Chains A and B, each alone.
Chain A
Amino acid sequence: MQIFVNGKAMPLPTEAMSVMALVEHMQLTGKRIAIERNGDIVPRSQFAQVQLQADDKLEIVGAVGGG
């Protein structure tokens, strides 16, 4: 299965994967991030329940310096 993360295609190692598994796969566990999936926020409390679908478009963001 392939999804898109931050505008780039990302092949996934398995066909069934939750958002939480993706976060682990990307070594982002414990990082302060927020995730939008196909235009909607995925609350952190639902990372484990939400299953990714092929061609999902994810935005994974953090806070950086800015004015």
Chain B
Amino acid sequence: MSDALVIAGKSYQSRLLVGTGKYKDFTQTRAAIDASGAEIITVAIRRTNIGQNANEASLLDYLPPSEFTYLPNTAGCYSAEEAVRTLRLARELLDDHKLVKLEVLGDPNTLYPNVTETIAAAKTLVKEGFEVMVYTSDDPIIAKQLEDIGCVAVMPLASLIGSGMGILNPWNLQIIIENAKIPVLVDAGVGCASDAAIAMELGCAGVLMNTAIAAARDPVLMASAMKKAIEAGRESFLAGRMAKKLYSASPSSPTTGMIG
């Protein structure tokens, strides 16, 4: 069955997008990402270390951009201006790469998104030709505004970044999904495989996660679990669940042919 995730006109077989942070080392990063089956991986843009470790291994050695679709992010940015500058650098860094993840944070304790700055940055980036996948709150009105600006995917949080609290407001996510004509991906808050499956059963086009895998006791095993959960959740969504009933007078086994 062909059921590709299409973002900005490009098809992906995997609906699991993963971050590359918080791992023990690059070997573990690579092993976990392989186990996840992810094709799109997020990276952060940071100042290079000056004057030391000229031959230090880099993330790109372990995860060559030829094998993956890089999704440079604006993690840690608190203003539209910082976020736009960061992604302009990313585009130059990755040879005119246009697919980016925009996130503008509002508060260092909760890492809750600042939606007004996010909207301002999205407008500038779309105008400059970026393909913007945008991290936002689970507010359906904001999600729609970001779509109308021209973002290629909207990515509401399930719960706060790195919290692992799971999907706290499935009803809002459902409203966002129903209203959207672009892919809706849950980004942030997934803690375990069942959370990922629930997101997919709600009709999400995909899930982006980092900490749920990297902070598991066995990150590589969790990456494999997430891959299966995303696939199972997607198939469950496509199959269409049975109606919920308090009880049913319709047993699964025949009522005739009983002995005696």
Cβ contacts A29-46/B at 8 Å (1 or 0 each): 001111110010101100
Interface residue? B47 (CB, 8 A): yes
Inter-chain CA distance A62–B51, complex, in Å, is 14
Q: A62-B58, A63-B43, A67-B210 are in contact. Are A28 and B21 (CB under 8 A)?
A: no
Chain B min CB distance to A37 (Å)? 11
Contacts of B46 in A (CB 8 A): 61-62, 64, 66
Inter-chain CA distance A10–B73, complex, in Å, is 28
Picked from B22, B50, B54, B88, the residue with its CB within 8 Å of the CB of A65 is B22
Inter-chain CA distance A67–B105, complex, in Å, is 13
Inter-chain CA distance A32–B89, complex, in Å, is 12
Cβ contacts B71-109/A at 8 Å (1 or 0 each): 011010000000001101110111000000000000000
A1-56 with Cβ < 8 A to chain B: 5-8, 10, 26-28, 31-36, 39, 41, 43-44
Contacts of B161 in A (CB 8 A): 67
Contacts of B26 in A (CB 8 A): 65
Residue of A nearest to B89 (CB): A34
The reply to whether A67 and B20 contact each other, CB–CB distance below 8 Å, is: yes
B52-67 with Cβ < 8 A to chain A: 54, 58-60
Inter-chain CA distance A36–B46, complex, in Å, is 12
The reply to whether A66 and B70 contact each other, CB–CB distance below 8 Å, is: no
The reply to whether B92 and A67 contact each other, CB–CB distance below 8 Å, is: no
Q: A5-B50, A26-B50, A33-B48 are in contact. Are A64 and B92 (CB under 8 A)?
A: no
Interface residue? B237 (CB, 8 A): no
Q: A66-B42, A67-B20 are in contact. Are A61 and B89 (CB under 8 A)?
A: yes
> Which of A7, A34, A44, A66 has the most chain B CB atoms inside 10 A of its CB?
A66
Contacts of A5 in B (CB 8 A): 50
Inter-chain CA distance A31–B214, complex, in Å, is 27
